[in-house]
């Protein structure tokens, strides 16, 4: 598990390092913009009536909310992706492959989000959404471990920082997994349980090793 720098790597200042990020950014941007296509302008009988148009738009409410939720969820993962790759000094082919696997689930996310927007009361929709998001968070850990084990990071994180970062990425996996049985009792309770992320992250923030910020600054 010793950090080994291999010749086949693409260093940070290479065209190839940049391409992986350009490709990832393009895919994130498309996944975040596509959902607006699903918000179709409604048809009303009297096109000048405010009341009728308001009613018709009311039915689009869940689509609009679903668009903004999806944008926020995928945007949060983009921020994490941006922060993670900022720590790397190089990529290897394994990381490029794992990144593609991660992006496949990012590209897929608009579907479970739209499903949740339409069937918010249905335990199955909540489950599918929770599983999809848990997979993306889980793959974050896999990417992090791979980069750590192959010595691709600019600086080796101290052991306590590494453990803390892994815990922070795994927390949403555990939280979303826990919400699945809750969803079969009550879907609103399940969605509320996701809000537990806020106190959990606050506690994790308190446990953050002092030198973490130093490490992130590279």
Closer residue to a copy of itself (CB): 33 or 174: 33
Closer residue to a copy of itself (CB): 84 or 164: 84
User: Is residue 37 within the footprint of a copy of itself (CB under 8 A)?
Assistant: yes
- Minimum distance, C-beta of residue 169 to a copy of itself, in the bound complex (Å): 17
User: Is residue 65 within the footprint of a copy of itself (CB under 8 A)?
Assistant: no
On the 0-12 / 13-18 / 19+ scale of CB atoms within 10 A, 183 is: buried
Residues 67-106 touching a copy of itself, rule: CB under 8 A, are 67-68, 71-72, 75, 78-79, 82-83, 85-86, 93, 96-97, 100, 103-104
CA 217 to chain CA centroid, Å, is 22
Quick one: tokens of 215? Answer: 């490490």
Closer residue to a copy of itself (CB): 100 or 174: 100
Q: What's the CA gap between 91 and 154, in Å, rounded?
A: 11
- Determine the interface stretch with a copy of itself among 12-20, 136-144, 145-153, 165-173 (rule: CB under 8 A): 12-20
Residues 179-208 touching a copy of itself, rule: CB under 8 A, are 184
User: Is residue 118 within the footprint of a copy of itself (CB under 8 A)?
Assistant: yes
Per-residue CA distances from 174 to 22, 137, 194, 198, 201 (Å):
31, 10, 10, 14, 13
Q: 140-156 burial by CB neighbour count: b if 16+ within 10 A, else e?
A: bbebbebbbebbbbeee
């Amino acid at each position: 598990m010793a950090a080994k720098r291999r010749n086949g790597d693409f260093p940070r200042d290479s065209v190839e390092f940049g391409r992986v990020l350009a490709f990832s950014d393009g895919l994130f941007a498309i996944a975040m913009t596509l959902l607006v296509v699903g918000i179709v302008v409604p048809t009303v009988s009297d096109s000048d009536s405010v009341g009728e148009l308001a009613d018709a738009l009311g039915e689009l409410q869940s689509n609009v909310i679903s668009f903004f939720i999806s944008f926020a969820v995928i945007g949060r993962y983009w921020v994490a992706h941006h922060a993670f790759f900022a720590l790397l000094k190089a990529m290897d082919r394994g990381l490029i492959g794992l990144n593609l696997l991660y992006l496949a689930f990012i590209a897929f996310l608009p579907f479970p989000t739209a499903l949740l927007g339409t069937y918010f009361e249905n335990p199955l929709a909540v489950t599918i959404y929770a599983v999809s998001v848990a997979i993306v968070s889980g793959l974050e850990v896999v990417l992090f471990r791979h980069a750590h084990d192959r010595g691709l990071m600019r600086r080796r994180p101290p052991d306590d920082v590494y453990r803390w970062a892994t815990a922070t990425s795994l927390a949403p996996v555990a939280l979303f997994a826990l919400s699945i049985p809750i969803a079969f009792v009550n879907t609103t309770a399940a969605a509320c349980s996701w809000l537990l992320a806020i106190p959990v992250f606050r506690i994790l923030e308190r446990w953050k090793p002092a030198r973490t910020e130093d490490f992130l600054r590279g």
